[in-house]
Amino acid sequence: MARLAVERSHIAGAAVLAGLLASCAAGPQTPPVTSTPPPPVTQQPPAETGPITYKSSGNKDMDAWRASFSARALASGRDRTVVKSFLENISPIDLWLGSEVQAAATGISDQAEFAKPIWDYLKVPLGDSRVSTGTEKLQDEAGLFDRIEATYGVDRQVVAAIWGMETSFGAVIGNFDAPNTLANMAVEGRRKTLAENELLTLMKVVERGDATRQDLIAGWAGAMGQTQFMPSTYLAYGVDFDGDGKKDIWKSDADALASAANYLAQSGYARGQPWGVEVVVPPDYDYSLADGQERRLETWVATGVTPIAGGNFSTNGADYAELWLPAGADGPKYLLFHNFSVFKKYNNADSYAFAVGLSGDAFLGARGPVTAWPTQLAPLSVADIKLLQAGLNSKGYDAGVVDGIAGRKTKTALQGFQKDRGMVADGYPTKAMLAAVTGQDSATAAAAAASVD
């Protein structure tokens, strides 16, 4: 996964992230790392031994963590000069260590928070500004995209779509110092092991000379460059595509886009195959087949699934697909193929992968979906989804952890409930379904939901 921040597999995660990003944008910036460049690795003073001493960061938890982590980094073989350059100027960031983080962690805002409907999530990725810029980038950098397609076998509109999703085509790469924001993440504690491992990996990156200490600009969660790679992704998949000896995913379009293509290629991207095809199904279709299971394309055809554009499926060899209902039986319906799961390796959220696929297609002039979104179906609040999950669990349908995020497990549990009662088994959480599951009539449930709002 390229980005830590968006790994939750539901749109509600994006809403939480949006809140964090908003507070991130409003928060104080990280101070400059150093006013003078740290000495090159080749000038390290090997005679120096023992613990590195640091000035206080002004936060005693941070100082204590740093003393421990610095010793462990040295013991694991990391270069002393690099370790010092990473840790000597760390300082607390409000986003990570301020009081609002505690509020987010304890879920104080759950009552008012709504899961963002997918049609809202898609407004920016499919907006005129994103689509027109993407179309222009494909034209302006056609030579680069030609070389990337030829080298990595990844379709250009997909690389461009990820570029747009991650940083608006390199326009918004963040302004945090990666070592500092990862240090804050480690001190904050919930992702301590991940943050420490990413810091150690980033130290290796600088030791190898792939990037310099000053290059390490990141978003608030430590993802770096035009395609927002975590350090471990950068180390594994970053490439120097313009041949200047550095893997510069910050300032070189060629390096950034080739690195993203390399990551997609090594994640199994199949060139020329669709990520998904919008479909229509026969009346009274058994929507319980939209259960996350991949089935052969011929099996779907046998159940009456056809492309909404008409004609037969043309998938360039993609043979397995799942039926996906992003907004239930009343909304657009898709067969999702292998490449959709590749997008999710970049960022493990259906909504993200969907936006990549749709926006890439839009850059080529193919706007989707054709079917209107069921915007009349009001989204449930996080509190309502928790009630739904608890209700499903109590009736023996395993919705998993009651977390207010209606992910695939909740959907599958709801489908089981619906199917056993002869309902349309689309697994889409609505107020009517909340009422059915919790045993209230819909008016009572709606009143209860309104009072929660």
**Contacts to Ca ion by CB under 5 A:** 240, 242, 244, 246, 248, 252, 255
Q: How far apart are CB 247 and Ca ion at their closest, in Å? A: 6
CB of 243 to Ca ion, least distance (A): 6
Q: CA nearest 216: which of 38, 55, 60? A: 38
User: Whose CB is nearest to Ca ion?
Assistant: 240
The token pair that represents 270 in the structure block: 């199949």
* Least distance (Å) between residue 336 CB and Ca ion: 35
As given in the structure block, the two tokens for residue 89 are: 């100027």
> Cβ 217 to Ca ion, closest distance in Å?
16
| Per-residue three-class SS string for 103-147 | HHHHCHHHHCCECCCHHHHCCCCCCHHHHHHHHHHHHHCHHHHHH
* Between 17 and 224, CB nearer to Ca ion: 224
Structure tokens at 449: 């939901």
Rounded to a whole number of angstroms, the minimum distance from the CB of residue 213 to Ca ion is 17
**Identity of residue 362:** A
Using an 8 Å Cβ cutoff, are 134 and 160 in contact?
yes
Which one-letter DSSP state was computed for residue 306? Answer: E
Query: Which two tokens mark 25?
Result: 């944008």
Q: Which is nearer to Ca ion, 149 or 242 (CB)?
A: 242
Beta carbon nearer to Ca ion, 188 or 210 = 210
Among residues 93, 97, 88, 98, the alpha carbon closest in space to that of 56 is found at 88
88 or 255: whose CB is closer to Ca ion? 255
Shortest reach from residue 7's CB to Ca ion, in Å = 28
Q: Is the Cβ of residue 180 or residue 252 nearer to Ca ion in the bound state?
A: 252
Q: Closest Cα to residue 427, out of 439, 440, 442, 417?
A: 417
Rounded distance, CA 197 to CA 176, Å? 18
Half-sphere exposure of 19 (CA within 13 A, CB side): 18
The backbone torsions φ and ψ at residue 229, rounded to the nearest 5 degrees and listed phi first, read -90, 135
Cβ-Cβ contacts under 8 Å for 121 (sequence gap 6 or more)? 11, 14, 351, 355
CB of 244 to Ca ion, least distance (A): 4
Report the residue number, 244 or 398, with the smaller CB distance to Ca ion: 244
- Residue 258 beta carbon to Ca ion: minimum distance, rounded to whole angstroms: 9
Beta carbon of residue 246, minimum distance to Ca ion (angstroms, whole number): 5
Q: Are 109 and 79 in contact (CB under 8 A)?
A: no
C-alpha–C-alpha distance, residues 393 and 414, integer Å? 10
Whether residue 403 contacts residue 148, with contact meaning beta carbons closer than 8 Å, is answered with no
In whole angstroms, the minimum distance from the beta carbon of 242 to Ca ion comes to 4
Residue nearer to Ca ion on the CB measure, 227 or 438: 227
Of 167 and 259, CB closest to Ca ion = 259
Tokens standing for residue 318 = 């993609």
Tokens of 192: 């301590």
CB neighbours of 391 closer than 8 A, spacing ≥ 6? Answer: 434, 437, 438, 439
Q: Which is nearer to Ca ion, 207 or 291 (CB)?
A: 207
Q: Looking at beta carbons only, is 243 or 283 nearer to Ca ion?
A: 243
